[in-house]
Amino acid sequence: MKVLIVHAHPEPHSFNASLTQKAGDALRRAGHEVTVSDLYADGFDPVEAPRHYQNRENRDVFAPLGEQRHAYKGGTLAPDVTREIDRLEQADLLILQFPLWWHGMPAILKGWMDRVFVSGGLYSSKMRYDAGYFRGKRALVSMTSGAPAQAFGPGARGGDPDTLLWPIHYSLHYMGFTVLPPFAAYGVQGHGYSYQSNDALGRHLQALLDDWAEHVTQIDNAKPLSFPGWQDWDADGRALR
Per-residue pLDDT tens digits of the chain, which is 241 residues long: 999 999 999 999 998 999 999 999 999 999 999 999 999 999 999 999 999 999 999 999 999 999 999 999 999 999 999 999 999 999 999 999 999 999 999 999 999 999 999 999 999 999 999 999 999 999 999 999 877 878 889 999 988 999 999 999 999 999 999 999 999 998 776 666 666 667 676 787 788 898 899 999 999 999 999 999 999 999 999 999 7
* Secondary element (H or E) of residue 154: none
CA distance readout (Å), 114 to 37, 51, 65, 141: 16, 15, 10, 17
**How many other C-beta atoms lie within 10 A of the C-beta of residue 213?**
19
User: pTM score, two decimals?
Assistant: 0.94
Which among 67, 71, 90 has a CA at the least distance from the CA of 79? 71
CA distance readout (Å), 56 to 33, 65, 68, 70, 77: 37, 12, 10, 8, 11
